Amino acid sequence: MPRPNPVLKVNNMDVIHTIAILNKRLREAGKVAFVPTMGNLHAGHLELMRIAREHGDTVVASIFVNPLQFGPKEDFQKYPRTLEEDCALLRTAGCDVVFAPSVEEMYPAPQQVEIIPPPIANELCGAFRPGHFQGVATVVAKLFNIVQPAAAVFGKKDYQQLCVIRALAQQLNYPVRIVAAETSRAEDGLALSSRNTYLSAQKRQEAPRLYQALKTIAHQLQQGQRDYAALEESACRALAAQGWRVDYVAIRDPHTLLPPAGKSERFVVLGAAWLGVTRLIDNSEVSAST
């Protein structure tokens, strides 16, 4: 296969495929604000780019479908690769540099040094996707070393990922500010996600129900209900009755992601469930004191 052009300049946005050329490009870049992605971009990613602009002189987006974070039976092969369309979108979103490495560029040899994320990474999504957060933490650590951002923006839709990355940055002393962005949603409440493209028209209509179920729990918590197990159980049953296969619905502490302890006033309600062949995740933060 012909190697891609090392630096493709598109309307003042550089599309770079190698670490060496990226390093050169970023030498005089000032403060870098970074948005790591796996591509197949949507309006939610563009919002992350807008936030990134507020945090640096140069905005870098990476597009890399990271094999390390997919399980053997997951959708690594079928994950949509849409570099051209992504670059067209990024150009309109004020991105300065796109870093789109090949798998060989990121992993020239089998990756034997990996980041062990904190134990919370083995719960919730981690319990259903063993090794997923280890793969995420490892690629994000590599990307931080390559891009050396002053700030990096992550969406709250992937709430557990955000917690893992915060811990990674803190405990490995990365000099990077982790900026959390609110989840972007369609009008009917469905969280924007690259995987929504897997949904048939019929499933797309059903899809907002996951967020509705989490919001129902959020409301019940605000009303003072504290039987967490009963609230979770009732949401699982409501989803299952509509044909969902639920991995989990869980009420957790928003900072530690552990089950709430004592007289909690702040929560995050997280859920992951399958609609046909598509696994959706979502969450809702709750402040019961407001």
What is the pairing mode between strands 7-10 and 13-16?
antiparallel
Q: What is the DSSP letter of 188?
A: T
Query: Taking the complex as a whole, how short is the minimal distance between the CB of residue 158 and ligand PAF, in angstroms?
Result: 5
- Of 51 and 136, nearer to ligand PAF (C-beta) is 136
45 is catalytic: yes
Write out the residues near ligand PAF by the rule CB under 6 A. 36-38, 66, 69, 136, 139-140, 158, 161
Q: What is the DSSP letter of 70?
A: S
Query: Taking the complex as a whole, how short is the minimal distance between the CB of residue 74 and ligand PAF, in angstroms?
Result: 12
For 46, what's the count of Cα atoms within 13 Å in the CB-facing half-sphere? Answer: 15
- Of 136 and 251, nearer to ligand PAF (C-beta) is 136
d(CA 141, CA 168): 8
- Of 69 and 220, nearer to ligand PAF (C-beta) is 69
Helix and strand numbers (H, E) in the chain are 10, 10
Q: Which of 17, 45, 55, 132 is catalytic?
A: 45
Listing DSSP states for 248-266 in one string gives EEEEE-TTT-SPP-SS--E
What's phi and psi for 263, nearest 5 deg? -90, 75
- Of 68 and 199, nearer to ligand PAF (C-beta) is 68
Q: What are the DSSP E strand ranges found in the chain?
A: 7-10, 13-16, 32-37, 58-63, 97-99, 151-155, 177-181, 245-252, 266-275, 278-287
Q: For residue 106, how many other CB atoms are within 10 A of its CB?
A: 18
Query: Taking the complex as a whole, how short is the minimal distance between the CB of residue 66 and ligand PAF, in angstroms?
Result: 4
DSSP bridge partners of 252: 268
From edge to edge, which strands make up the β-sheet containing 7-10?
Answer: 7-10, 13-16, 97-99, 58-63, 32-37, 151-155, 177-181
Query: Taking the complex as a whole, how short is the minimal distance between the CB of residue 38 and ligand PAF, in angstroms?
Result: 4
Query: Taking the complex as a whole, how short is the minimal distance between the CB of residue 57 and ligand PAF, in angstroms?
Result: 22
Q: Which two tokens stand for residue 39?
A: 């591509």
Query: Taking the complex as a whole, how short is the minimal distance between the CB of residue 231 and ligand PAF, in angstroms?
Result: 28
Q: Which two tokens stand for residue 252?
A: 């957790």
Question: Annotated active-site positions, please?
Answer: 45
